Structure 1
């Protein structure tokens, strides 16, 4: 991605303060309650993100869908649960783009 149009979905996702906060929380997946699979390995379960954000399940799902569409998080399905992790490579590329002199 080389220009602002390429990053439009990321900028839209980051326009919501709760989504930015979720990305910050996901920096330390161990700060969430324990789950069956280690969060460091599989990501954080949506139910834990929902609880910390104090939003409904559907709102949490919409927030995570926006972050995933922007490439800022990845998801993994384990049974009936979806787990999310930061996509550090994409976040780094976005930071580089912003740092290149907007």
Structure 2
């Protein structure tokens, strides 16, 4: 996992953000309580949102949803956590802030 101190890769980050679907996922994850029902095995804020909830809300195939989440995770914008056989996703706020700061510096 990247830290906020590490320079965010602008090309990887921009590619991850180049999809309206991935931007929507990031928007939902910014306030998961407002966009998703309570979960049994994980707290929406602390643990993140279960991949199944994201898939259902996106109304996409599991493989397509997984690809979108993988791109966001690889870019560092979201953190994936395994818990009780499920994968939960939450925003990596420190890296998002570092990415925005670094991108401003480049532009």
Normalising by structure 1, report the TM-score: 0.90
8 A contact 2:29–2:49 mirrored in 1:
yes
Alignment partner of 1:26 is 2:46: no
Question: Which residue is equivalent to 1:75?
Answer: 80
State how 1:1-102 maps to structure 2 within 5 Å: 1=7, 6-30=9-33, 31-36=35-40, 37-100=42-105, 102=107
* Greater share of residues in helix: 1
RMSD: 1.3
- Give 3-state SS (helix, strand or coil) of 2:81's partner: strand
* Structure 1 residue ranges without an equivalent (≥5): none
Structure 2: distance between partners of 1:60 and 1:101: 31
- Give 3-state SS (helix, strand or coil) of 1:41's partner: coil
* More contact order relative to length (CA 8 Å, sep ≥ 6): 2
Normalising by structure 2, report the TM-score: 0.86
Instruction: After TM superposition, give the deviation of residue 101 of structure 1 in Å.
Output: 5.2
